[in-house]
Every structure is written in C-alpha cells, then in structure tokens.
Structure 1
C-alpha cells in the first residue's frame, strides 16, 4: 500500500485561531472540537496553554468533553509551558523547537548546542510527567539538514514519541519535500509528521508529497485557515488521499462540508467561492452545455458527487444558461411552470445577468414566484410609472394602470419615491377596491449596489390579509410589483 496508518492532527484551534482578527470563545472552541472529533480527527491541537488563563479554560473545557481524539497543547521548550499543559489535563504536547540558524540566533539568542540540550531536557520533563511528546522543528525547511536530524535523534533518546517537520514560512516545493522525508523517515526511528504553511500556495501539495515519502501524520486546519496565507487545508488533503489515491483515511467524508461551515461561521472567516471542495462554486453550474452534460451524467463536469462530502449540486442562472438549466433549477425548487412562464422567467434572468449579476437560488425562486403571480391573468396591470424625487422636490409618482381593461392615470406623493409610487397605485384602484398596506419589508438578496432586491408587502382588503412579493434590481419597480401582485390576488378572492 502506498500509504499506511496515516494520522491527522488538526490545529484549527491553535494555528487557525492565529489568523488575524479571529478570537474564539470557549463555547466556540468546544463546538469546533466536537465537530472535529465527530469527523474522525486523530489529534486536536486545542490551543497553547501558556497563552492566557482564558486559553487554559478553553483547553480544560475541551479535555472535559467525552472526546475520542487525543487532545494536544502547543508548548515552547520551557518547563513552565509543560506545567500549564499539564494543568489543562491534555494527552500530549506539540513541543516546538526553533531549528533554523535565523530563529536560533535572532529569536532565542542561543546557539545550536544549547537548543539541542534544552529540547532534550524539556522532552524528558514532559515524558516524566506522563505526556505524549511530538517534538517539532520550527522553520525546519530553512534549517541545516544534518543539525535537524541530530536534534531529532536526541529527542528520540529523550523519549519523544513523534517528530514534526515544520515548513513555517512555506518555502518547500514538492520535489524537495519528497527528498527530505524519504531520508528522514528511513533514518529516524520515530513517526514523522508534516506541518506546512501556504505562503506560496503549496501547503497541500507539499503535505501530500511528504506522506508519499514516508510521513505518517499530517497537520492541517479546516478551510486552510491560519496566519498569513494559512495552513494546509484539511478537506483538500483528505479528499486527495481518498479520491485520487484511493486511501481510506477513516474520516467521515459526509461531515466535511458541515465542519467547514461551522468553522467559517464561528471564526467569521468566509470561504472563498472558488475554494476547492467547500467553496460555494465547487459544485455549482451555470453554462448550458455543462448542465446538459450533467443531465446525461453528473460525472461529465464533476470529479465526485457532492453528496460524498455532505454537499448538494446547485444550478445557477446567468447569461450562459438556457431552458434546460432553468427547468432543472425550478424543479429543484419544487416549482412547476408552463412554457410562457418559463420564457418570462428566463427573460428576466438574462436581463439581470447582462447587468453583471450572478443569479442565485434565492433570485430564481423570487423571480419565478413573481412571474407565477403575474400569469394568473392580472386584473390590474402597470402601463407606465414616472417618479420624481430630490432634495428640493416632494417625491411624486405618476401612475398609469390598466384596471379591467380601462386605463387609469393618477398621481401620488409620499415620504420618498417608493411611498409615492405605492400611493399612486392605491389611488388608481381606489374606485375598484380599498386596499390597505399593512407592512412593507425589503431585502437585498444579492450583494452590490445593483443588487436584486426582494420586497415583501402585507396588504388587506375587507379584513382579508395576504402577503406578496416583487423582485427587481430597481427597488421602486420591485415595490410596485409586490403591491400589484397582492392587489391582483385580493381582487381574485
């Protein structure tokens, strides 16, 4: 077998939380730890016990949970760090030793021999206190290779259970990674793990290369979060091993997307739309030719079924979409339309797309529901609408409606252009029915200044109250459309 007994250490709660602007509460950390354990992660680096009392409380809260994973704390090469970790009742420590000459001299103000001695002493101290020790070389990719091996050898003699090679600033390339890990995994008598950063976008590639060359553990974070450009992406490594190398990781794949969303929500870090596997667009299709292929066989334009990682396929509408795309999208929304309604929905979608907007599921549903209302043979139709508004002008709307085949022109004034337009509509139909506006609500359901807006209104007539909606890129037109939809509904009663 290419890989054997690979273990996974998740450092979302330690390295991931070092992302600028992220500060997780104890409750957040416990929630993420529980999700990682449910996922099947072997080791959870719950934090760094030396950081603060609050950090220690969070780690203690995690260790108090009924979690199957090994719980780990980050430690510097100081006995005091180990003592704080012991206070938190963790199973193991990630004992990090600066190993490049740059870090040894500039950060520690020591020499190589001193660092080797201290690392061994702290390792022995932690082992004497019953901890599992993963001895980690910080900035290993810029360290002297032979010195690093000697430090690791000393660590093994002192009782280190595992060794970790850290590419702290993302300087490795896959070819060099294979060379390093082939040598170290064959010459050191302890399991070797890999910890990569993504400064050059190679964290995942280097991690997979290391596993390929003998590493038996991989450090990762959910969504690849972490300081600077982030860490190795957990979901990408897992699915590369599972799908491309056919290796059973033991991870519950169907929980990957839920875990990604949980971490994104609790950290406040949005996932890029085009991120592999968990990004919004990963299983989203627009182009008509792609959708046609998907209808024949989903494998035509998908490397794996979205359900594999707990996702769903999405069909979105845009300028490249056709009727087949729209039919499929409407079917998924549980909406049935006839040919004329389909044409009208597609026409509106194209108009919106030509404005540079991507049409979401919410847009389709709102547009479709609006069109379905329109095609109930409306008794009241909008023929013309002119609105005048400004700093020195009272908002005024001139409205021309066709009511039961008769054109009616009215003007309305209001507190703003939307209010004026609605008042104009109400006045125009006043001879037919007394319609009262009970509530008005507007939402932007896409971003940007040219957002598609959805207007919800609650209207009443003779004690009958209904809600209706309108959706346009123009808030005035969306409002009038919502009111007219409601009026037509009430007149049909």
Structure 2
C-alpha cells in the first residue's frame, strides 16, 4: 500500500489512491454469466447499488465507423461514394474536428483506393485510420499507407475466448499481447477493440489485460487506445447496475483500476436493446473521451450508435456545437437517398422524412401560432428542415395554411392564414377526398396541383 502513488484528481480535487492490483483470473470453465444471460430467457438487469462518480473529460469527440462497421450490413460503397461521404464528415466536424477519425477496411483494392483518395484530401480531421487482421503483413500495409493508427480485434468475453477461439484466458491474453507488440514494433499505434465487453469478466480479464497494454505503451512510448465494444448491445446506463452490463462501471474500472487515460478510451455501442445513444452519452459522462458511431446508425444487426445523434448529444452536453455544421446531416441524408438508394426510415430523429412533421389538427393550429410549441428546436436553422404539417382529414384550415407557407417559403405579409380564400378552397377539396373514402395522407404532388389550380381560379400568385 505504501508504494502505490497518491495522486490529485483534477475533476474532484481529491487525493486518489490508485489501486492497480488486479491479476488475470484463469478459469477452467468459461464464465458466461448465465445468471444474467440465460439464453432461453430475456437477459436480466441486476443491481448491487455500487455507484461510481461522474467524470466528464475536458474534451470529448466522435469517431466514425461508417466505412468499416457500417459496411458490414449493406452492399459495399463505391470508392467515389466513400470519398464524397468523407468530405461531408469533414464539413460536419467543423474546424475543431469534433468528428475526429474515420476508420476503413484495407482488404480490397477498392478499400485501399478510397483510403488513398481520402488521405489525398489533406484534411487534419477526420484522421484516416484502419481496421486490419492481426498479422505482420497487414501492419506493414498500414505503415506503408502512412497511417498512424490501426484497429485490432481482441475479443474479451469467455464466449469468444473459449467458444470461438478455443483458448484459455491466459492463452488469449498472451496471443493478444504478442499481436499488439508486433504492431508497436512497426511504429503504428494500436487501437485494441475489446469485443463483447458487456459479457466479459471485467476484473478477471479486461482490467488485467488493460494493465498489460498500458505497460506496453510505456515501453514503446506509442499510444495504445482501448475501444470498449458493446458488441451485443447489452450495456445499460442505470445507476447501481452490476458489471459487466454497467457502462459507467466498465469505464470507471478501466480508468481507475486499468490505468487507461480518458483520451485513449473509446466506446463502441450497438442498438440491440435501443440503448446505443444513451450508452454512448454515458461513456462520455463517466470518462471516455471518444464515442464511435456510424452515419444513420447503419451497422451490424440493429446498427451502431448514429453519428448524427451524438452530434446533438455533444451540443446538449457542452452547450455549443463548437463549429460543427449540422446542415450537412440533411445533405448526407439526401445523398444516401438520391445517390446510394438508401432511404432513412421516415420517423428517424433529425433525418427521417417525417421527423418534424405533424399530422394532428390541434398541433398544426399551435404550429401556425408559434412553431416552438411543437418543434424540438429551430430545425430550419440547424438542419435546413423547416417544420412541416402533413395535410390529412385532421389537419384543418390551420394545417393547410402552414403547409402552403412552409412549402412555398412565404414570409411576413406574403403568408396566408386559415381565413384565406385560397386555403378555404383547398380545404373543400381535401374534405371531398376523405368523404369519398380516402384514408392516406395527401402527397406533396397532389397538394401542389390543387393549390396551383386554385391560384389560377382566384387569379393569385404565391
């Protein structure tokens, strides 16, 4: 005890005794936490009421896996598409580079061509990083491309160590440390992807492994990053929940007992239980500087943490966008739909076609009086998406007036209200549609045709 360092924690202004005393626990049989993960039942969230402190880093940022994990669940992007999206990510991240890195596969010529073209852009951010197989040949490829960092898969749960790799914990750790050492020998910084961390033995394997990785970092004087991968989306952010499901418990343990500094710690979440965004935010709040995301959450199974969601989480936590250009998010959604052929589900926050569209007549009336009543923020300013009212049998005169003003961008004295002759004429047509048995919302094209016809009859222009 007397030889362990006592350090001042700048976030709490308290002296803290670092306890690096966790050793690998080798086991004969895998610990798969059957009490928490009974395969023939829904997983259980258990509590032991052990609370860890908030520990928000001074600086937080986002990393992107659109071209790696994001490509594992869809047809591969073309080189041109990757470069275009990379340009968008650069604009979105702003001058401070809040979108800090973007990771790429290096397996195919197409992937490598995309890497070359993105690196030729000369952007400081996002930094181009890679994901490779753990082999000397691939390490050399990373070095030849001029990359400073690469991701390496180091699965950490007994599910993977015993069932997939057919190893013991000590065999797996020694194998991983050998691979990481090979990477460091080439002068490349390894980013260790601790796959399936939310089903792993945190203090029996993960923290002892982190301690050994930190020793290698000290030996080679090259950063060794740790990516905590919630591969199956089991992580929870509930105060007092037990590890390995507790996000804050994992982050606290890796920092306080594993010796991993905030700037080298990253969270990678999946959305199997609808918790990807809240878990990523929790990782920030409890000490990880970085969260790993993909555009629109596209990724394995239910997907990754949506990058656009974390842009707005950042702004809410920091009180500023720090120069991020959020209008790029809308441009990206349009690019995905028009050029890639991927349509974001219509109710997806920030990017879905209907995310700020209301159908209820009473809501439409409120929007017409003051859009703040039913809109989350100034969506026209931040996303180039003015709030809209879908016209149906419940929209009423107010909804039709709002649709016309928004669609035709009518301002000030040019705006129409629910007493307008034009609005009332359109309302007659709408009522006739639904009285004849229609049940669907009216399309933009239908409304445009009726409005233009009504304008001709009334001899007015918009």
**TM-score, normalised with respect to structure 2:** 0.75
SS of the residue aligned with 2:154? strand
Structure 2 residue 178 is the aligned partner of structure 1 residue 178: no
SS of the residue aligned with 1:201? coil
What's the CA shift for 1:213?
1.1
Structure 2 residue 245 is the aligned partner of structure 1 residue 164: no
Which has the larger share of strand? 1
In the other structure, the counterpart of 2:36 is none
CA 1:60–1:225: 2 relative to 1, 3 Å:
same
Q: State how 1:38-49 maps to structure 2 within 5 Å.
A: 38-40=91-93, 41-49=98-106
Structure 2 residue 341 is the aligned partner of structure 1 residue 271: no
CA contact (8 A) 1:352 1:359 kept: no
SS of the residue aligned with 1:102? helix
In 2, the alpha carbon distance for the partners of 1:350 and 1:313 equals: 23
In the other structure, the counterpart of 2:451 is 368
In 2, the alpha carbon distance for the partners of 1:125 and 1:372 equals: 73
C-alpha RMSD of the superposition: 2.5
Which has the bigger relative contact order, CA under 8 A and spacing at least 6? 2
Structure 1 runs (4+) greater than 6 angstroms displaced: 335-338
In 1, the alpha carbon distance for the partners of 2:179 and 2:439 equals: 60
In 1, the alpha carbon distance for the partners of 2:362 and 2:185 equals: 65
In the other structure, the counterpart of 2:116 is 60
SS of the residue aligned with 2:260? coil
SS of the residue aligned with 1:9? strand
SS of the residue aligned with 2:427? helix
Structure 2 residue 397 is the aligned partner of structure 1 residue 323: yes
In the other structure, the counterpart of 1:139 is 196
Deviation per CA, 1:76-121, whole angstroms, max 9, x where unpaired?
3322332232343323212221111221233323332232223223
What's the CA shift for 1:236?
1.2
1:84 alignment partner, one of 141, 152, 168? 141
CA 1:104–1:352: 2 relative to 1, 3 Å:
farther
In 2, the alpha carbon distance for the partners of 1:263 and 1:157 equals: 44
CA contact (8 A) 1:48 1:55 kept: yes
CA 1:90–1:344: 2 relative to 1, 3 Å:
same
In the other structure, the counterpart of 1:201 is 274
In the other structure, the counterpart of 1:345 is 426
Structure 2 residue 378 is the aligned partner of structure 1 residue 305: yes
The unaligned stretches of length 5 or more in structure 2 are 1-10, 12-55, 218-222, 239-245
SS of the residue aligned with 1:158? helix
In 1, the alpha carbon distance for the partners of 2:331 and 2:404 equals: 25
In the other structure, the counterpart of 1:75 is 132
What's the CA shift for 1:140?
1.1
CA 1:333–1:281: 2 relative to 1, 3 Å:
closer
**Greater displacement, 143-152 / 334-343:** 334-343
In the other structure, the counterpart of 2:30 is none
In the other structure, the counterpart of 2:324 is 251
In 2, the alpha carbon distance for the partners of 1:360 and 1:152 equals: 56
CA 1:231–1:267: 2 relative to 1, 3 Å:
farther
Deviation per CA, 1:31-63, whole angstroms, max 9, x where unpaired?
1111111111543334221x2222222222222
CA 1:129–1:221: 2 relative to 1, 3 Å:
same
CA contact (8 A) 1:33 1:44 kept: no
CA 1:264–1:87: 2 relative to 1, 3 Å:
farther
In the other structure, the counterpart of 1:18 is 72
CA 1:284–1:24: 2 relative to 1, 3 Å:
same
CA 1:339–1:206: 2 relative to 1, 3 Å:
closer
CA 1:109–1:64: 2 relative to 1, 3 Å:
farther
CA 1:266–1:198: 2 relative to 1, 3 Å:
farther
What's the CA shift for 1:246?
2.7
CA contact (8 A) 2:210 2:254 kept: no
CA contact (8 A) 2:67 2:105 kept: no
In the other structure, the counterpart of 2:29 is none
In 2, the alpha carbon distance for the partners of 1:347 and 1:249 equals: 49
The unaligned stretches of length 5 or more in structure 1 are 377-493
CA 1:198–1:265: 2 relative to 1, 3 Å:
farther
Which of structures 1 and 2 has the bigger CA Rg?
1
Q: State how 1:87-236 maps to structure 2 within 5 Å.
A: 87-146=144-203, 147-159=205-217, 160-175=223-238, 176-187=246-257, 188-190=259-261, 191-236=264-309
What's the CA shift for 1:375?
5.3
SS of the residue aligned with 1:195? strand
In 2, the alpha carbon distance for the partners of 1:132 and 1:101 equals: 26
What's the CA shift for 1:325?
2.0
CA contact (8 A) 1:124 1:158 kept: yes
In 2, the alpha carbon distance for the partners of 1:331 and 1:250 equals: 30
